[in-house]
Amino acid sequence: MEMEFTKEEKAFQQEVRDFLDQHLPKGQDIWTKRAEWFQALKDKGGWDVPKWPKEFGGPGWSPVQHYIWEAETSNHAMPITLPFGQVMLAPIIMRYGSKEQQERFLPDIRDNKINWCQGYSEPGAGSDLAALKTKAELSVDGSHYTVNGTKIWTTMAHMADWIFCLTRTDSSGAKQEGVTFLLFNVKSPGVTIKPIYTLGNSHHVNQVFFDNVEVPVENRIGEEGKGWTYAKGLLQHERSGIAGISRSIAALDKLKRNVKSVKSGDEMQIEDPTFKRKLAQAEIELRALEFAELQSMTAAQAGGEPGPASSILKLVGTQMQQRIQELTVEAAGVYALNWGFKKAGPKFSKTGMESYLFGRAATVYGGCSEVQKDVIAKKVLGIRN
Ligand SMILES: Cc1cc2nc3c(=O)[nH]c(=O)nc-3n(C[C@H](O)[C@H](O)[C@H](O)COP(=O)(O)OP(=O)(O)OC[C@H]3O[C@@H](n4cnc5c(N)ncnc54)[C@H](O)[C@@H]3O)c2cc1C
């Protein structure tokens, strides 16, 4: 397989580096100069929405250009946006939404004017998502749905303005049928958001309750009862994003730099043969994973959706994230225990422990590892049971 960048791709890589040198805010400016950064990206020709196709104002990059962008930007701290609107929902609106919905929602998603959250999982429907029960009933005059039920693990619902939500409009057939995809404002009457505190006492996720929430029928994406098809497409985009392979490469490089200043007994940690071996093993596997990603990108050059192969990247990519987090905590040694206090040990011991604790969830959200293995067995390897 040809893995060398072409002349044009090398030129693009240089263009990205030059752009970052010129426009990327540094230090505290990451917070204060967010708007300028996103404007500069937009002015560059849709770089603010890298995954969007040209017809919707994106740059229309090839998969290899995406890879280059990810690899170059992962090496820098930079202003970020949550993926729910731009990466997950927007492709669904582009593909299945009406023209009116595209005009109504896409500009605000692009300009970060509306924060979105994802209402998929329920207390009885996580891995078995199609078991969802949140009910949406169409009014007699057909003007609106009334939504009742609950969603759980809803990331950043407490900061969100709107939710994209899987609801059940029919229970008579197979569970994948009768699912309807609705968009609504989380400030609507009848919506209650309660925090869930996770490992490390952080508040990212919530349980969201719906009590007779009225949703106008024009907020339904596509056809009633066909939401499962739309939902599945979205999961593939979500899984490809969660794999975070470029971010892992940057994290491992950072760990190698950090560990050079850490002592273990009388020796430097980096000289410890067991630690060195673990680091080298992680690096070898990460490079293999990078090639798997490049291979899937090369295959995707012709266009198309991420497909079930995104499950391979999600499965191994999240395991790799956890390996690097574990090595970071190991390198921090006793200082990892002090992570709640600001001035104990090397700086990375605090952030390293935070990432380690939150990182436990990566092999669960977006579909747990066992579910990815099922998808790989059935859809990639063609094994039926
Ligand atoms: C931090 C975090 C953020 C999240 N954010 C969101 C969000 O924003 N929106 C949203 O809708 N959801 C979100 N989720 C929910 C997430 O998608 C679900 O947690 C996930 O799909 C697993 O479902 P569950 O928690 O119900 O676990 P279950 O489905 O009950 O699974 C529990 C365990 O059972 C085992 N298991 C399950 N199925 C199988 C199988 N087929 N074969 C073998 N073993 C199996 C696995 O070990 C699995 O980990 C988030 C979760 C976390 C942890």
Structure confidence at residue 265 as a pLDDT band (50, 70, 90): confident
Mean pLDDT within 43-58 = 95
Q: What does the angle CA 257 – CA 263 – CA 265 come to, to the nearest 5 degrees?
A: 155
Structure confidence at residue 285 as a pLDDT band (50, 70, 90): very high
Closest CA to 242 of 328, 363, 155, 117: 363
Distance CA 379, CA 384 (A): 9
Distance CA 380, CA 310 (A): 10
User: In the chain, which residues fall in CATH 2.40.110.10?
Assistant: 116-228
Mean pLDDT, the chain, rounded, equals: 91
Residue 119 CA, closest ligand 1 atom number: 11
Lowest mean pLDDT among 6-10, 46-50, 242-246, 367-371: 242-246
Contacts of 125 (CB under 8 A, 6+ apart): 131, 132, 133
Lowest mean pLDDT among 61-65, 118-122, 282-286, 294-298: 294-298
State the CB neighbour count (10 A cutoff) for residue 354.
16
Rounded to a whole number of angstroms, the CA Rg of the chain reads 22
Confidence check: pLDDT of 48 > 60: yes
Task: Give the binding-site residues of ligand 1, using a 6 Å CB cut-off.
Answer: 117-121, 126-127, 153-155, 205, 361, 364-368, 370-371, 374
Distance CA 127, CA 173 (A): 20
Distance 369 CA to ligand 1 centre (A): 9
Mean pLDDT within 257-273 = 83
Closest CA to 145 of 154, 135, 132: 135
pTM: 0.91
What is the pairing mode between strands 144-152 and 191-198? Answer: unpaired
| Token output for 34 | 């967010």
User: In the chain, which residues fall in CATH 1.20.140.10?
Assistant: 244-380
How confident is the model at residue 341, as a pLDDT? 66
The CATH homologous superfamily of the domain defined by 244-380 = Butyryl-CoA Dehydrogenase, subunit A, domain 3 (1.20.140.10)
Element (H, E) at 301: none
Contacts of 257 (CB under 8 A, 6+ apart): none
Structure confidence at residue 294 as a pLDDT band (50, 70, 90): confident
Confidence check: pLDDT of 233 > 80: no
Q: Which fold has domain 116-228?
A: Butyryl-CoA Dehydrogenase, subunit A; domain 2 (2.40.110)
Confidence check: pLDDT of 2 > 60: no
Distance 364 CA to ligand 1 centre (A): 5
Residue 205 CA, closest ligand 1 atom number: 3
